[in-house]
Amino acid sequence: MKIPPVKGTRDFYPSDMAVRNWIIDGWKRVSLRNGFEEYDGPIFEYLKMFQIKSGDEIVEQLFSLTDRGGRELALRPEITPTLARMVNQRISSLPKPIKWFSVPRLFRAERPQKGRLREFFQWNIDIIGEDDVLADAETIFCALDYLQEVGLTPDDIVVKISSRKMLAELLRTIGIAEDKLEDLYAVLDKRSKLPTDIFEQMLAESVTDESKCKKILKLMSIEFIKQIGSVVELTRQVKESVDELSRLFELLNVMGAGDYCIFDIGIVRGLAYYTGIVYEIYDKGSELRAIGGGGRYDNLLQLFGGPSIPATGFGIGDCVLAILLEEKGLIKPEPRQLDYFVAYVEEAYKEAAVKLTMKLRSAGWRTSFSYKSTKLSKQLKEASEQKAKKCIIIGEEFKNNELVIKDMATGQQELIKVDKFFADKHDPS
């Protein structure tokens, strides 16, 4: 009986797994050097956990399940609710700021498309307990520290940055009522994803006052922070949020990440819970979806029964990133390699080869041998196929406790006493 894999999931054969590990190990290494500690939660949580944060899009895309006790559960579509739950559980004992990262496997029950699968990995970085915009800058730097390390330059990618706080103040100044803001964010977030006329029609439906509507359109066409004053009056609140955004760009310059970053008032982020700086990372060349995005969400922990505490963070998925890296020829997983391949000239030495192989493995060396008692030439071919650095040949010399060591790169052979061979060896790491 042949059964296919489920659409939108991936089989990771060893060559695919090498790429997945290369990406995830890079995320982890960069997170650690940026001072973040790793955490993780369960693959499933109570369904209602994911209904607390608005973002209707996410709730619609949940894989839900019921356990034997009739409890409604769901596979996690994001890890932020779990993070909020975990931090709230230990809020008083955790030293602040909390700098945590995670690489959760996530699930969305949507139609698979290019760069969007039903099962994927996402790099998450969060700083909780620090309201300074320096924390926002640090998370953006951390994302770029990785993206730069794998070889993506400011010619390849851009971080588009704005401020939800500033946008809110601007819209208030224009005269948008407080209870209309949330719906309006969702409309404005669609701007770059829709044809201009359709977007403008949606906006007109959301903001019925024509003069307000025009002001918003003018605002959305701004290219530089300095232009804001020409469209909207710089109230104290507007000015404060503009200053914060300007300071973020200064800090990114100090950090050496400024070349990747631009202001883009069109970055709104769909989710309702963002409260400050917001950003999305895009490739410059092609038509891919966002590589990742994030921002400040100072009220989220409170939504999950915790205290009011500032927080900022981002998520970068593996699917779009892998497509971009593939396009640029930047995927460079560690090649599979053996330290030793132990060959034997005839069946009589096979047991000795097995013994030596296991001894080398226990000492930490990647070692293999051939199951089949074939000719030496065939074993050497196998060693070469498995990319062995050295081949140990067990033959007549073994009666005198000697081994032949062949360097597979140079072809050079040397004869060495078994005892000396082990005495000379250093730790493989």
- Check residue 236 for interaction with a copy of itself (CB under 8 A): no
Q: Which is nearer to a copy of itself, 242 or 360 (CB)?
A: 360
Going by C-alpha positions, the residue among 377, 338, 363 that lies closest to residue 428 is 363
**DSSP class of residue 184?**
H
Rounded distance between C-alpha atoms, residue 304 and residue 284, angstroms? 37
Q: What is d(CA 185, CA 271) in angstroms, rounded to the nearest whole number?
A: 9
Answer for which of 212, 214, 328, 366 binds a copy of itself (CB under 8 A) is: 366
Q: Which is nearer to a copy of itself, 82 or 188 (CB)?
A: 82
393 beta partners: 343, 404
For a copy of itself, the binding residue among 95, 195, 335, 411 (CB under 8 A) is 95
Site string for a copy of itself, 319-348 (x = CB under 8 A): -----------------x-x----------
Q: Which is nearer to a copy of itself, 110 or 189 (CB)?
A: 110
Q: What is the DSSP letter of 116?
A: B
Site string for a copy of itself, 177-216 (x = CB under 8 A): ----------------------------------------
Contact (Cβ atoms closer than 8 angstroms) between residue 295 and residue 164: yes
Residue 127 phi, psi dihedral angles, 5° rounding: -120, 120
Q: Which long-range contacts (CB under 8 A, 24 or more apart) does 133-137 make?
A: 133/244, 133/247, 133/248, 133/251, 133/276, 133/277, 134/251, 135/97, 135/310, 135/312, 136/248, 136/276, 136/277, 136/295, 136/296, 136/312, 137/248, 137/251, 137/252, 137/255
Shortest spacing between CB 309 and a copy of itself, in angstroms: 14
| Residue 294: its H or E element | strand 292-296
Out of 27, 77, 78, 107, which residue is the one contacting a copy of itself (CB under 8 A)?
107
Cα 215 to Cα 233: distance, rounded to the nearest angstrom: 12
Based on CB atoms, which residue is closest to a copy of itself, 69 or 411? 69
Task: Output the smallest distance, CB 98 to a copy of itself, in A.
Answer: 9
Instruction: Say which amino acid occupies 137.
Output: A
Three-state DSSP string of 404-418: EEEECCCCCEEEEEH
Pick the closer one to a copy of itself by CB: 17 or 330: 17
Candidate ranges 92-100, 211-219, 260-268, 393-401; the one touching a copy of itself (CB under 8 A): 92-100
293 within 8 A of 281, measured Cβ to Cβ: yes
Give the distance from CA 182 to its chain's centroid: 28
x/- map, 17-36, a copy of itself, by CB under 8 A: xx-xx--------x-xxxx-
CB 37 to a copy of itself: min, Å: 4
Identify the burial level of 132 via C-beta atoms within 10 angstroms of its C-beta, where 0-12 means exposed, 13-18 middle and 19 or more buried. middle
For residues 84 and 184, which CB has a smaller minimum distance to a copy of itself in the complex?
84
The correct pick among 114, 284, 355, 378 for binding a copy of itself (CB under 8 A) is 355
Site string for a copy of itself, 376-415 (x = CB under 8 A): ---------xx-----------------------------
Q: Which stretch binds a copy of itself (CB under 8 A): 94-102, 151-159, 182-190, 414-422?
A: 94-102
Window 125-164: residues binding a copy of itself (CB under 8 A): 130, 132, 134-135, 141, 145, 148-149
* Residue of 112, 202, 323, 365 interacting with a copy of itself (CB under 8 A): 365
Q: What's the CA gap between 33 and 25, in Å, rounded?
A: 12
CA dihedral 279, 283, 284, 289 (to 10 degrees): -80
Q: Which is nearer to a copy of itself, 65 or 198 (CB)?
A: 65
Whole-angstrom Cα distance, residue 304 to residue 317?
A: 24
Please tell me whether the peptide bond between 97 and the residue prior to it is cis, using omega within 30 degrees of 0: yes
Q: Binding a copy of itself by CB under 8 A: which of 56, 351, 396, 407?
A: 351
Question: Which segment (7-15, 174-182, 216-224, 259-267) binds a copy of itself by CB under 8 A?
Answer: 7-15
Q: Write the binding mask 242 to 271 for a copy of itself: x where contact by CB under 8 A, - elsewhere.
A: ---------x--xxxx--------------
